[in-house]
Every structure is written in structure tokens, then in C-alpha cells.
Structure 1
Amino acid sequence: MSRLLAATATAVLLLSAGAVQAADRCGAVTHMRFGETRAYFNDALAACRPDGYCSVVVALPNPSGQAAWRHQLRVARPSPGADYQVELAATDPMPVAGAMRFTTPGQTVDPGPWLVPTSPGSNEFRVSDPILTRSLVSGLRRQRIARWNYPSAEGPAETYFSLRGMTAALDWIDCRGAGDQT
């Protein structure tokens, strides 16, 4: 009986050690939620799903409490090594037409036709031009704040995203996508 107990205790210790090691991936403390591995970097949440999709999200809370967030800035890699995607989302009702602008200090982008809804009638938009996307990601890595001007049902609106942690979070999803789990 004592050998069985010792073997069980050893197995539990080995499994626990593996779980602790798995908690530190690519230099960040991680946790699992909604089936994805997540790590926080100041204001940015980085997450990777088992299918290889990884993203960094800066979500602004909804003061009304009717939704978990009011605005989101998302930079994603749909699969390891794939080009980045930049997406902006709002819970506010938005008209189909209207000018949008995305600004970081030193860079103003009028995405024009390159900012398209991710699905018809959605309040989520993706930058569809790969050159513009690379330029935006480069700016997001270098700056501390970004502004999104967009049309809302009440008229012109704007929101600000803190970019604290964006560079570290992007580095983390790139590391995870490269398979470097140290």
C-alpha cells in the first residue's frame, strides 16, 4: 500500500511540476480561459487558441454595463506566421457609410475603402490592405495611444486605446506561433 501511495504522490508531483512549467510560456505568466492560453501585458490581453489563431486585444469597458466591452482594438495572426490583421469593433450602432480614421502619434490613417466590415451589418471592421496593416502594426508597436474616429448613430464619435503592453503582447503571440514555448 505504501508503494502505491508513494507512486501516486510522485505522479501527482510530476504532473504538478509540468503544470507549473506550462504556466510560463514565452516569458509570460499564462492562464487558460475559454479554451485559449492567455497572458496579460499591461492594457493588452494576448491569447492563442489551440488551432493556432492568436490575437492581442485592447478592450475598453462599457460604462453602461450592458456589454463586457464598448470598444476593441484587435491585432491578430489567424495562423502561425500569417500576416497580421487589424480589427476595430464597437457596441455602438453604426451607420454603413461614414468616414473613419485611425491615429497614433505621428501617423494618421484614413483607411477609406480598406476598412471593411467583418460581416454584413456588424460593428466590427478589418483593415483589408496588407501594406496598410503592416504600417499600422508598426505604429502600434512604437506608440502609447491610438485614437479611432468613427460615425455613430448619434454623430461623429472617437475613442482612445492605451497601447501599454502592445509590443510585449505582439512579441508573445509571435513566440507562441513560432512554437517557442520557453
Structure 2
Amino acid sequence: MKIYDINVTTNGGKTKSLSEYQGKVMLIANTASKCGFTDQYTELESLNKEFKDKGLCVLGFPSDNFANQEPDDDEMIAKNCQLNFGVTFELFKKGDVRGESAHELFKFLTSKQGFKGFDDAHQLSQKLTEVLKNNFPEILEGDGVKWNFTKFLVDKNGEVVARFEPTADFAKIKECIQSLLK
């Protein structure tokens, strides 16, 4: 299976094939509006604005898999993202990003790029690790998405080339995007 074989549902309820992004670089993120990392919407939108005309597509997939941090429905999610963060990148239907009920896109992404740990330099890495160990130890098992704002970078050929945890430095993400857009 290739990423381009996967269909997704837009925030507005339309089915879309990821084959529509062939030849583009995709930055795919699971998102949530009530998370300590929610300000990353702003950084994702900044990347979108800077690189969309050069071939980057930022794709946001809201999820309520982590501590009820995305309780809203799709319409409210879209309004919140636009009003509070100026999001213009494409949002998709809220759904699961981990476990048996995870969307096939996230099963595919995590099978190609496993979990390699949180960025120790980030101020929230230690706290996030403690919260997971103490409250959700099963999340730390395997390669599934560990928390909101995990990002996957897909090159122009549909290869999943990088995974960035919510604690990743956006300068590093930007550098990887730039190298793929050359």
C-alpha cells in the first residue's frame, strides 16, 4: 500500500484521495484545541503560508484520543482554528489517530516512522513523559502516536521521511521541509 491509496474525509464531510497530493510535500499533523501544544496551530500555519506556493501541503487531523483535548465537533473545530489561529491549511474530519480504531492513514504513517522519543531540549518533554507514565502508560508502548501535534513529513514521492513529536523544534521541521522542496 502507498499513502496515495488512502482516502480521507475533509472537515466538510467530503471524501478525498491523498493521491491529490502527488508531487507535493505533505506535513500531516494530529491536532487538538485544548492541549498544551495548541499554539502549534500558529506555527503550522506559518509553515503553510511560507511554503504552500512552493509545494507544501499542511494537513490537520483533529483527534480526541488524548485526555479529551478535542471535545468539539468538526464545525466548531474549523471555526476555532480559523478565529483563534488564522488557520487556512486543510482540516479533516475528527477521528482516531491511535489504537485499533485509528484511521488507516495514521496506522500507515506510524508503520513507516516509529516513535524515537521526545525532544529532551523541549521544556514540556519531561512533564509529558511523566503524565504518560503515570496516567496513560499504554500510550508509551509501540510506535503509535503518543500525543497531540505529532507530525509526519511525506516527500513528493509519497515516502514518509520524518516524524516529529509535539516536542520537536519547528526550526528543524522547517529545515527538513526546505530540503524536500528543493
Higher normalized contact order (CA 8 Å, seq sep 6+, divided by chain length):
2
TM-score, normalised via structure 1 length: 0.27
Query: Where is the strand percentage greater, Structure 1 or Structure 2?
Result: 1
Query: Where is the helix percentage greater, Structure 1 or Structure 2?
Result: 2
TM-score, normalised via structure 2 length: 0.27
